[in-house]
Amino acid sequence: MNRQMKPRWHTLTVISLVLGAALLLEVRLPLSPAGHTWLLVLWVLLFYGALSLWIAANRAALERAPRPRDVVGRPIIDVDAPEIDQFVAKKEEAGAWTLAQPFRQSEAM
């Protein structure tokens, strides 16, 4: 079990550089448009697969990372603030969290 303290950002950089270079090489290949399309689909699958593996390997370190702060040192998003609960309660009362609602007849005209 790997108990790293920080995420391995250099691995993410390597993934980006290698797949970016593969994308540059793909443009230069003499393929049909369908061949380019399939290579791009494969590139997208490789990219998201590599990112998923990186996130899985660094999950514990990412969860232990400190919360982001602004220049002064205040939390950027203070999820423990009571204002957040009041905001969510107001939105729930107003029905703002419901999914797409059809127009009422007066709004449609």
Residue 84 pLDDT: 64
For each of the chain's 109 residues, which pLDDT tens digit applies? 455 688 899 999 999 999 999 999 999 999 999 999 999 999 999 999 999 999 999 999 888 887 778 888 777 776 666 666 676 677 677 665 555 555 555 555 5
Range of the domain at 21: 1-66
| Residue 93 forms part of a structural domain | no
| Residue 103 forms part of a structural domain | no
| Residue 78 forms part of a structural domain | no
The b-or-e profile of 53-82 (16+ CB within 10 A means b, else e) is ebeeebeebeeeeeeeeeeeeeeeeeeeee
| Residue 28 forms part of a structural domain | yes
| Residue 98 forms part of a structural domain | no
Residue 107 pLDDT: 52
Residue 57 pLDDT: 93
Closest Cα partner for 54 from 6, 8, 98? 8
| Residue 23 forms part of a structural domain | yes
Residue 78 pLDDT: 62
Total number of domains in the chain: 1
| Residue 32 forms part of a structural domain | yes
Closest Cα partner for 1 from 49, 59, 51? 59
| Residue 48 forms part of a structural domain | yes
Residue 104 pLDDT: 56
Distance, CA of 2 to CA of 93 (rounded, Å): 46
